[in-house]
Each structure stands twice: as C-alpha cells, then as structure tokens.
Amino acid sequence: MNKLIYLSALTSILLGAVNLNALEVGDKVSAFEALDDHGKSWKSESFRGKKLILVYFYPAAMTGGCTKQACAFRDDQAKWKERNVEVVGISGDQPEGLALFKRAEGLNFTLLADPEGKVAKAFGVPAGKGGSIDRFVKGEKFTLNRGVTTKRWTFLVSKDGKILYKNDKVQAAQDSASVLNFLNQKNTP
C-alpha cells in the first residue's frame, strides 16, 4: 500500500513538472524560428517592435477542432490586421501538410511546422507522440505526417516580446473571438 501511495505521489510530481517551464503572462519570449507552410524560414524577430504576434499551438492539421480553430482565425483576419496582429498557427506537421491544410481551407495567415516540438518546448506547451492521417482533397488522397502532437494553447506576444495573454484551456472554435475579446477589454496597443 505504501508503495502505491509513493508511486502515485511521484507520478503527480513528475506530471506537474511537465509545465514548470511553461511561459506565463509577463514572461519574455525567446526569439524563435520555424519553417512556414511554403518551406521557408519564418523568424519571430522580424516582427519585434512592429506587431503583436498571436501564436496558437494546435494538435494536427486537417482535423475537426483544429480546422474549426483555423477557420475562425481566417474569418477574423480583417480584425487581426486592424489590430496590427500577426497570427501564426504552429503544429508538429510537416510544411507540405501545412500547405495542403492552408489551401484546402483557404487560410490567410502563416502556419509553422514544429515537427521536433522545439518551439512548443520553448513556450512550455506539452507535446506527445506524432502520427499521420490520411485526408482527401478534391478526390485525391494525401498523407499528413507530424513529428509531435502538441496541446492546444494560445499566446499573445507584445511588440517587445512579452506574453500578454495565455490560454491553456482553449475552446477551438472560440479561440479567435476569445483573444479579440481580451484585446478589446485591455485596449492593448
């Protein structure tokens, strides 16, 4: 019985430690870089001092909740531009899978590939095993591969690189509206 209690306590401690490095509101975000949906290098430093960056992590391209989330950001893109916010979606998918997702859903913002989970780790976003899924687009079958599967978390980063907003309990379809509501309430520059 004591061994069971000990193992349970140890498991709780270890699982709790997973998020010890998670960024919180007010923390400075280190510069990060990843390949975009065109296979080109995208650097957060390009936006420092110029724009807010909305970074949302999602588990997998072309899946139910992730598609609803991406389409909400797509549909609100004019509002994001009006607020001078660069929207960036990040998953463990490969760039070619992201390009397909972007094309299939008419997405109008950048998607970044994080197949090794390096960017997720820098933000403290939990990531598990990757995988692959088959999807049909206009009758053609595609296999999308991802190196890791991240949790669905959203961050808003200030022009000077600090976390203004964090949500680690994201409701996929409401994510865009939730962050816009935060911006409207805070009147964030």
Given the residues 23, 34, 54, 66, the one annotated as active site: 66
Determine the 3-state secondary structure of 156 from DSSP: strand
66 is a catalytic site residue: yes
Tell me which residue of 189, 186, 170, 184 sits closest to 70, measured CA to CA. 170
Q: How far is CA 33 from the centre of its chain?
A: 13
- Tell the residue number behind the tokens 């997720």, with chain if given: 120
Number of residues that make up the chain: 189
Beta strands in 29-109 (DSSP E): 33-36, 41-43, 52-57, 85-91
Q: Catalytic residues, which ones?
A: 66
